[in-house]
Amino acid sequence: MNDHPVPVAGTADGSLIRHGTPLFRQANLALFAAGIATFGLLYCVQPLMPEFSKDYGVSAATSALSLSLTTGVLAFAMLFAGAVSDAYGRKSVMTVSLIASALLVLLTAIVPGWTSLLVLRTLLGISLSGLPAVAMTWLSEEMHPDSIGLGMGLYISGNAIGGMGGRLVTGVLADFFDWRVGVMVVAGIGLASGLTFWRLLPPSHHFERRPLRLRTLMARFAGVFRDAGLPWMFVEGFLLLGAFVTVYNYIGYRLLAPPYSLSQAVVGLIFSVYLIGTFSSAWMGHLAGRLGRRRVLWTTFALMLTGVGLTVFRPLVLVVAGVVAVTFGFFGGHSIVSSWVGRRAGNAKAQASSLYLFAYYMGSSLAGAGGGLFYADHGWNGVAAFIAAMVLAGLLVAWRLYFLKPLPGPPSPGTEPPLP
């Protein structure tokens, strides 16, 4: 699991990994497996929130803590995950993160009480923090500029498969067996994915070990905020995941209730629309690489806004179509913004990635929990209005980024080369 720089074979220029090479396929298979594990372990409780409300006698907002606590702690822990990987190596930190997280989710299926479950889900936020920010940094360091958009998109495709699989497995098995059986299965998939990642990810070639020094770390974080574009990208991350998670947190409550009265298994199957993200993230990331991120990003928010509007209608087919549109737009937007952060951050990639994902998961934590208050007072229409407000704000920020001038010259902290 060492990250000592080594020569990289099979790349076009002898160092950076480019699409079309065997090493690109190997690296993306490893990161695809990591994405499956990360989102599967994180979001497997989302379709179970109505089950938690029933089993533990808690409200929708309290049940949402099973996810919001995890993402809230994850957001803060990721601020330091990049620095830890600077000191101990990218691959080492990511591998330990995946395996420890799978074991914690396995324990979640065994513990008896609600408080114990929340404690384990809180610890999961700490253990998972070693993967998302570090994976973004690894991609930014090791991928060629003309391949990073596709590479990031394929990694996020793994997130989509994991998110869909975790929700689908627990949702369906909860209906036929017990929600604990579903969580155990997801933990087993996560463990297998972690071992696959460890075997396949190539060693780092451009990693430079840096000791953990708090003053130096704070200076790097401060440097990121001097950039004209990066803070706006962090805001986009907050709004993207905040809106997306709020949809998935509470749509199950709506579909289980009249007039739909769907079973938990059918609701779990509806979550399979998550698969659209495997196409959206790779396609939109590649399209943004060709046309320019600023020219494509706003369309993802427009699509999400359209989807939210569809969910307020009564016909089930329109509700599902709305969830599909929100999912497509979210994964496309996240793929574009996350790769943009890595390209613009220069030598501060680890810190910029950590700050982006801090905002990203804080959006999940705060908006995901806050949506429960709107659901309690105004039902799904209140939740939809809350989500629409976030998406509109994201569209305005995308418009602001459209006019962001790329800085010429070689990349340095807080800069990016001209976009195509």
Burial 382-392 (b: 16+ CB within 10 A, else e): bbbebbbebbb
Alpha-carbon distance 271 to 291, whole Å? 31
Q: From residue 81, give the alpha-carbon distance in Å to each of 29, 307, 350.
A: 23, 34, 9
pLDDT surpasses 90 at 240: yes
Q: Which has the higher per-residue pLDDT, 231 or 22? A: 231
- Do 357 and 235 contact (CB within 8 A), yes or no? no
The phi and psi torsions of 17 (rounded to 5 degrees) equal -85, 130
Tokens of 142: 């090791």
> What pLDDT does residue 122 have?
95
Angle at 55 between CA 107 and CA 324, to 5 degrees: 80
> What pLDDT does residue 260 have?
92
Q: Give the pLDDT mean for 161-165.
A: 78
**Beta bridge mates, 143:** 17
pLDDT surpasses 70 at 409: no
Cis preceding-peptide flag for 259 (omega within 30 of 0): yes
Which of helix, strand or coil describes residue 234?
helix
Give, for 316, the enclosing helix (H) or strand (E).
helix 316-344
pLDDT band at 154 (very low <50, low <70, confident <90, very high): confident
* Burial of residue 75, with CB atoms counted within 10 A of its CB: 0-12 exposed, 13-18 middle, 19 or more buried: buried
> Using one digit for the tens of pLDDT, what is the confidence trace for 30-83?
988 888 888 899 989 988 888 898 888 888 889 989 998 998 898 888 888 877
> What pLDDT does residue 415 have?
35
Residue 269 included in any domain: yes
**Beta bridge mates, 84:** none
> What pLDDT does residue 230 have?
93
> What pLDDT does residue 148 have?
76
> What pLDDT does residue 384 have?
97
Average pLDDT, the chain: 83
Alpha-carbon distance 138 to 128, whole Å? 16
pLDDT band at 24 (very low <50, low <70, confident <90, very high): confident
Number of domains in the chain: 1
Alpha-carbon distance 124 to 104, whole Å? 6
Position of tokens 């993306």? Answer: 28
Alpha-carbon distance 88 to 373, whole Å? 42
Which CATH number belongs to the domain containing residue 133 in this structure?
A: 1.20.1250.20
Alpha-carbon distance 291 to 295, whole Å? 7
Residue 305 included in any domain: yes
Q: Give the pLDDT mean for 260-264.
A: 87
Residue 413 included in any domain: no
Q: Which has the higher per-residue pLDDT, 110 or 149? A: 110
Show the beta-strand stretches assigned E in 357-418: none
Alpha-helical runs (H) found in 2-108: 22-43, 49-56, 60-63, 65-88, 90-108
Residues 6+ apart with CB under 8 A from 102: 37, 41, 187, 188, 190, 191, 193, 194
Alpha-carbon distance 102 to 40, whole Å? 10
Residue 327 included in any domain: yes
Residue 5 included in any domain: no
> What pLDDT does residue 416 have?
36
Residue 336 included in any domain: yes
Show the domain range for 69.
Answer: 22-402
- Do 206 and 141 contact (CB within 8 A), yes or no? yes
> What pLDDT does residue 207 have?
64
**Lowest mean pLDDT: which of 2-16, 230-244, 284-298?**
2-16
Residue 373 included in any domain: yes
> What pLDDT does residue 211 have?
66
- Do 42 and 170 contact (CB within 8 A), yes or no? no
Judge if pTM exceeds 0.85: no
Give, for 162, the enclosing helix (H) or strand (E).
helix 148-176
pLDDT surpasses 70 at 256: yes
Alpha-carbon distance 172 to 161, whole Å? 16
Residue 198 included in any domain: yes
Alpha-carbon distance 348 to 370, whole Å? 32
Q: Which has the higher per-residue pLDDT, 185 or 406? A: 185
> What pLDDT does residue 306 have?
97
Q: Which has the higher per-residue pLDDT, 350 or 360? A: 360
Q: Give the pLDDT mean for 391-412.
A: 78
CA within 13 Å, CB half, 172: 12
Tokens of 108: 């979640």
Give the whole-number percent of the chain exceeding pLDDT 90.
36
